[in-house]
Amino acid sequence: MKIYVDFDDCLCETARSFSELAVEMFGKHVPYEKIRYFELKKSFELDDEHLDLFMAAGHRPEVLLSYEETPGASETLREWIAVGHDVSIITGRPFSSYEPSRLWLDRHGLENVKMYCLNKYGRDGFIKKNDFSLELDDYYKMTFDYAVEDSPKAFKFFDHLPDLKVLVFDRPWNRECEFPNGNYRRCLDWKSIRDIVASESEALNP
Ligand SMILES: [Mg+2]
């Protein structure tokens, strides 16, 4: 199976970290459960200037490295790779975050997993040629059987794959969104994601 896995709020608890950062930086208390929008600007009620400061602070290497792992994430990915699934982490983090992101993966026993930065949210002001930044054209040449994603803003990147099964990691900001089609399923944790992929790949290759 070819599997797309998003990074933030799938592999790690990014929003919880931003929630703590908002208290430290601006004295704003928006607990994780109250983050109703994927756009941090809206959820934390920030103007553009404060949003820039907030994003810069949240992408400092030491902050990226400190993100807590979402329980079961690295174990599931290691198991997938061990049984021969082709796993690609496709993150919307800016290319400048590649190194600490890669280090986070390595420190969590995911040295063997591929990771690419895809400009999902228009946050990169420039495109730099390297082997981890994925141009949209190249992304659209890739195919996947499964995707693990939390952001409704990223669902458009799956429109070209009508058979793709999208496992939506349950988060407060995706609870009210409408799924584009019946191939989308809400998953509460990595155990349910692991079980779905295991049982369906077993049914295909008994
Ligand atoms: Mg995400």
Q: How far away, in angstroms, is 205 Cα from ligand 1 center?
A: 30
pLDDT in tens, 56-67: 999 999 999 999
Q: How far away, in angstroms, is 206 Cα from ligand 1 center?
A: 33
Q: How far away, in angstroms, is 12 Cα from ligand 1 center?
A: 9
Q: Which option is the CATH number for 2-12+69-204: 3.40.640.10, 3.40.50.1000, 3.40.50.300, 3.90.226.10?
A: 3.40.50.1000
> Structural domain boundaries of the chain?
2-12+69-204, 14-66
Place 135 in a pLDDT band, splitting at 50, 70 and 90.
confident
Q: How far away, in angstroms, is 153 Cα from ligand 1 center?
A: 9
- Strands (E) across the chain are located at 2-5, 86-91, 114-118, 133-134, 146-149, 165-169, 184-187
Separation CA 35–CA 44 (nearest Å):
8
Separation CA 182–CA 26 (nearest Å):
41
Q: Reply yes or no on whether the pLDDT at 104 is more than 60.
A: yes
The predicted pLDDT at position 126 comes to 46
